[in-house]
Amino acid sequence: MRVGVIGLGIMGAPMARNLLRAGHEVVVRGRSRGRIEPLIALGAREAASPAAVARAVEVVVTSLPDGPDVEQVVAGREGVLAGASAGLLVIDTSTIAPDVARALAERAAASGVDFLDAPVSGGQQGAIDGTLSIMVGGAADAVNRARPVFDAIGRKVTHMGGPGQGQMTKLVNQVVGVTTLAAVAEGLLLAARAGLDPTAVIEAVGSGAAASWQLSNLGPRMQKGDFAPGFMVRLQQKDLRLALAAASSLDVPLPATAVVHQLLAMVEARGGGSLGTQALITALSPAPRP
CB-based contacts of 152, cutoff 8 Å, min separation 6:
15, 18, 19, 21, 22, 24, 130
Among the listed residues 156, 170, 224, 238, the single catalytic one is 170
**List of residues 6+ apart from 287 with CB closer than 8 A:** 222, 223, 224, 225, 227, 281
CA angle 161, 165, 167 (to 5 degrees): 145
Return the closest-CA partner of residue 7 out of 84, 90, 82.
90
Task: Give the separation between CA 142 and CA 132, rounded to whole angstroms.
Answer: 19
Cβ atoms of residues 117 and 146 within 8 Å: no
* Torsion sign (Cα): 171, 276, 9, 269: positive
Verify whether residue 224 is a known catalytic residue. no
CA separation for the pair 87, 58 (Å, rounded): 8
Residues annotated catalytic, as ranges: 170
